Structure 1
Amino acid sequence: MSTEALGEEPGADPPDTGAPAKSAAPADSADSAADPGALAWARRRRSAARFWRAYRGQRAGLVGLVALAVIAFTALAAPLLVGSDADSVTDAPGTALENPSTEFPLGTDQFGRSVLDLLVYGARISLTVGLLAAALTVGIGTLVGMLAGHYGGWLSGVLMRVTDFFLVMPTLVLAIVLATVMSRSVTTVIIAIGVAAWPKTARLVRAQTLAIEARPYVERARALGGGHTHVMRRHVLPNVLPLVLAQTTLVISEAILTEATLAFLGLGDPQVVSWGGMLQDAREAGAISSGHWSFLVPPGIAIAVVALCFTLAGRALESVLNPKLGVAK
C-alpha cells in the first residue's frame, strides 16, 4: 500500500508507535558480510596474534628463533660481510695454518683463507641444504601419509610397506649409499637426505589423517557430496599442517647434521664451502695433530648451535600448535 493511501506524505518520517526502534547494524559488520575475504583475513590476523602471544611464552623457543634470525641474516649478507671471494684459493690473503691474530681472529686454513670468513660463508650452503632437504623430506612424507590415511585399503598397505622398508634402514647409511652412487654435488646431498629421512614424517601424518577422517564434520562433508580432493584439501590438509610445520623445524636440524656428516666423509661437493666440508679440510690438513683448534672447533660449534636452535624452535612450535599439551588454546 502506498504512502498516499495511508494519508502520509512521501518522504515523511514514520509515525512514532512507541516501540523502540531497531538499531542499525554496525558498518563494519555489513562490510564484513559484503566482503568475506576481509573477514577471513581478519580471522587470520587474530589467529596469528594469538599464536605469537603463545609462542612468546616459550622462552627457549624465542631464544632459538632470534638466534636463527641472526644466523640467517649473516648467511644472506655473507658476500657483503666477508666478500664474494672469501672461498677463493688463489686469492687467499694469508699463509697456511696461521694461528689466531688480529687480522685473522680464527686463524687460516691450509690454503691461507680466513677461517672466520669461511665460517660465515659456509652458513649459506649448510642452511640451504638443511632447508631444502627438510622440505623434500616433509613433502614426500606428507604426501605418502595423507594418501595412506585417506584412501586406506590396498593403497595404504603398499605405501606403508614401502615406508617400513625405508624406516628399518639407517638414515645415515642410506644417505651415504645414495651420495656415493650419484655425482658429488649439493643437489645430490639434498636428494640423498630427503629420500632417506621421510618415513618418520609419513607415519606421523598418516596417524593424524586417520584421526581427522573420523571427525563428524568430515563425515558431514562426505554426506553432502564432498569428493576425495575436497576432503583432503579443505579438511585434512589444514589440520595436518601444524604437525607438518613443527616436524619441519625438527627435520632441518637432522638434515644439517647429516649434511655435515656426508661432507666430513668426503661425499659433499668439494667446490663449495660448508661447515662439514671445513671439518673435512681440517682433518686432511692435520689440524688435530698440529693443535690448530681454531680451524677445527668453530665449524663444529656452528653446526651444534644451529641444530640446537632449530630443535628449540621446533619444540616450542610443537607445544603451541599441539592442543594436547595445553599451552595454547
Structure 2
Amino acid sequence: MTAPEITGAGTAGAAPEHLRGRGAWFKRLPVVHQLRQSVGLQRGMLVAGLVLTVAFVVLAAGARWIAPYGWAQLRGPDGMFGAQQPPSADHWFGTTVGGYDVLSRVVWGAQTALFVVVVAVLSSIVVGVVLGLLSGYFGGWVDRLLVLVADAVYAFPSLLLAILLAIVISGGQSSMWGGIFAAALSITVVFVPQYFRVVRAEVVRVKGEAFVDSARVLGTGHWRIMTRHVLRNSIRTLPLIVTLNASEAILTLAGLGFLGFGIEPTAAAEWGYDLQRAVADVTSGIWWTALFPGLAIVVAAMGMTLVGESLNDLADPRLRSRSRSKQVSGKVAATSVVADDQQKGDVA
C-alpha cells in the first residue's frame, strides 16, 4: 500500500476543516459538555435530573394551559366542586378540604415555586458575586467585616432566619407577588453567604496569578481587571451551587408554607401550605390531599439535586481522566487491525 493510499484511507471519514467548527459551540454548552463527559452512573443521574427538572419547568411555564381550573376556583360548569372528593374523572387528584381541585393546585404550585427559585437565585448571585468580588480583590477592613457578617449569617439556622425575614418583609400582606418576593428575598439572605464565600476564595486565588500582575504592570484599571480577568475565572463553580440552591429554595418555600408563613391559598397555589392543610386528612383516610403536593415537592427538589450532584461529581478531575482514558482506549481498540492470517498463525 502506497503512502497516498494510507493518507487517503486515514482521512476519508474526516470532515473538512471549515466544517469541523459547526456545532462545536453546542458541544461546549455547560450541561451538554458535562453530559458528554459523564459515564455510567453519573450520566444516568444527570439525565434523570435533567428530565425531572425540564418537566418541572414545562409544568410551571404551561400552568395556564395544563391546569384544568384556577388555583382558587371552587365552582365548575356543574356547580361547586365539593370538599375532600376522591379522585375521579372530573378531578383526577380529588379535591382539598377547602374544595379546591388538587391537580390544579399542584400545577399552579409549580409556577409559584419556579418564580421563587428564579428570584431567589438571581438576587443571591448578583449580591453574593459583587460582594465576594470586591471583598476578595481589595481586602482590608471591608473584607474582614464582610467575612464576619457572612459567617454569622451562614451559622444561623437557615429556616429560622427565613421565617424571621418572611415575617418582616411580608408585613402581613398576602398578595401573590408580595408573598413570592417575601419568600424569595428571605431565601436570598440565606444563600448570599454561600456565593460570597465561594467567589471570594476564588478571587483571592486568581488575583495572585501572573496574568493579573501583568495587567497591573501594563496600567490596566481595577475595574477592567476585576471584570475581564478576575471575575471570568472566579465563577466557574457557580452552576454547581445554583442547581443545589434551587432545590433548597423549593424546600425552604415548602417549609415556610407548611409552618404558615407562606402564601395564602386565594393569592397563589403553594405546595407547603396545601401539605399542611392535608395533615389532618391523612388520619381520616383521605390520602390524596397530602400525597400529590408532597410528591411534587420531592420530585422537583430531587430533579435539581440530581443535576447538582452530577455536575459536582463531574467537576472531579479524576472522573474526567477516567472518562477520557476510556474514550481513548475505545478509539485505539477500534483502529487496531490485525490480519486474520496472522491471528490464525499466532493461535497455531
Do the structures match in fold with TM over 0.5? yes
Matches for 1:159-308 after TM superposition, within 5 Å: 159-183=146-170, 184=173, 185-270=179-264, 271-283=267-279, 286-308=280-302
Cα distance change on mapping 1:235 and 1:82 into 2, 3 Å: same
Cα distance change on mapping 1:59 and 1:138 into 2, 3 Å: same
Aligned to 1:69: 54
* Partner SS state of residue 300, structure 1: helix
Residues 69-88 of structure 1 show CA distances to partners (whole Å, capped at 9, x for unaligned) of 12211221121122462432
> Post-superposition shift, 1:319?
3.6
User: For the residues of structure 2 that align with 1:107 and 1:196, how far apart are their CA atoms?
Assistant: 36
Q: TM-score, normalised by structure 1?
A: 0.80
Aligned to 2:91: 104
User: For the residues of structure 2 that align with 1:42 and 1:298, how far apart are their CA atoms?
Assistant: 41
Cα distance change on mapping 1:52 and 1:288 into 2, 3 Å: closer
8 Å CA contact 1:93–1:113 kept in 2: the answer is: no
Matches for 1:19-168 after TM superposition, within 5 Å: 44-45=25-26, 47-48=28-29, 50-54=33-37, 58-83=43-68, 85-91=70-76, 93-168=80-155
User: For the residues of structure 2 that align with 1:287 and 1:200, how far apart are their CA atoms?
Assistant: 39
Q: Which runs of 5+ in 1 are unaligned?
A: 1-27, 32-38
Higher Rg of the two aligned structures: 1
Cα distance change on mapping 1:219 and 1:241 into 2, 3 Å: same
Q: TM-score, normalised by structure 2?
A: 0.76
Q: CA RMSD in A?
A: 2.6
8 Å CA contact 1:119–1:299 kept in 2: the answer is: yes
What amino acid maps onto 1:82 in structure 2? A
User: For the residues of structure 2 that align with 1:45 and 1:115, how far apart are their CA atoms?
Assistant: 40
User: For the residues of structure 1 that align with 2:318 and 2:147, how far apart are their CA atoms?
Assistant: 26
What amino acid maps onto 2:164 in structure 1? V
8 Å CA contact 1:135–1:248 kept in 2: the answer is: no
> Post-superposition shift, 1:125?
0.2
> Post-superposition shift, 1:181?
2.3
| Identity score, percent | 32
8 Å CA contact 1:93–1:114 kept in 2: the answer is: no
* Partner SS state of residue 198, structure 1: helix
Residues 73-106 of structure 1 show CA distances to partners (whole Å, capped at 9, x for unaligned) of 1221121122462432355752100122233232
What amino acid maps onto 1:261 in structure 2? G
User: For the residues of structure 1 that align with 2:70 and 2:27, how far apart are their CA atoms?
Assistant: 46
May I ask how many residue pairs the two structures share in their alignment? 291
User: For the residues of structure 2 that align with 1:262 and 1:300, how far apart are their CA atoms?
Assistant: 14
